[in-house]
Structure 1
Amino acid sequence: MFWVMTKTTLQKLSIAALRNIVESGSLPGFRRNTHDAQVLWTKETLPMLKYFDYEEYIKDEMEVYKLIYQLRTNGLAFVTDVPSKVESPIQNTFYRRIWDVRTVPQAINAAYSSADLGFHTDLLYFQNPPHLQLLHCIQSASKGRANVFANGYKSAVDLLHSDPEAFETTAGSLDIASYRIAP
């Protein structure tokens, strides 16, 4: 059982219902029986994505469905004005309870440096990397920094069309990577 807490109600969603959403690719009551293809967005079309206001998202179940739909078709969704206070348990992860990203001298991880990270995909050193990553910037200590996104799915499709052999080599690669957190 999965519980969704809003400001006024506690909604119950069964694991079976969540599994059905994932397996069918459609959401109850919203574009139910459609199987829209992945959107191959570009820097020109990215600004057209809907931004979801946190208060509206919490109050309106349809906004939740729209956000999930956008995640499924575009691979990216933004929720604005999310409160910075913790109102529910935070799950411990590989990076401990909260990963407090700060610039430190002699950083062992690029995320702790002031260097531009460029385009990258997080967590690929896992055998089964997560299919969804949620990032919540509580407070930015620096000015002028930006998150920059690229459509990895579009890049793969473009490579498949422009160089099928390179695509097959890349897609079939079983490179093993590892990561170690310093003590």
Structure 2
Amino acid sequence: MSATRLLLIIEDDEAFSRTLARSFRRRDYEVLIAATHDEAANLLSTFSPGYAVVDLRLTGSSSGLECVQLLHKHDPKMLIVVLTGFASINTAVEAVKLGACHYLAKPSNTDDIEAAFEHVAGTTNIAVTNRATSIKTLEWERIHEVLAETDYNISETARRLGMHRRTLARKLEKKPVK
């Protein structure tokens, strides 16, 4: 297999990974699929992909960030795109620090991912907005951060945030966490 068009998809949602793989195969990529950090490590012992798509939140004890670190350590030139349904500034910064070239919020399609592979270098031509992040967005990011820290334990998250458990539950009903 050629490393120039070999893509590793690390995604625990079987239907999504199959769909993504099929779409990339139509674009002449050779595709490998792993659902966990360990499966990815096993594939890296045999293959050297040039591209990777990593889901941030994987089932089990490993996270997508650990996979990004593994992939970058294996080949620092590998182009790694992180996909997540739970985007936050903190995880985006950490993903890039660990070696990802891009971070995309779901839903993202094959066009978005391929564009992210092609747009690796940064640019200074991006307009800086004068609009500050909303309080609601900041609150939601903080709630998500603490939820992740507590392994999605609602009671412990509410305690750490200094709010009543029912108040947190109502907020989460408005924006459910997977």
Assess same fold via TM > 0.5: no
Q: Which structure shows the bigger proportion of residues in helix conformation?
A: 2
Normalised to the residue count of structure 2, the TM-score between the two structures is: 0.29
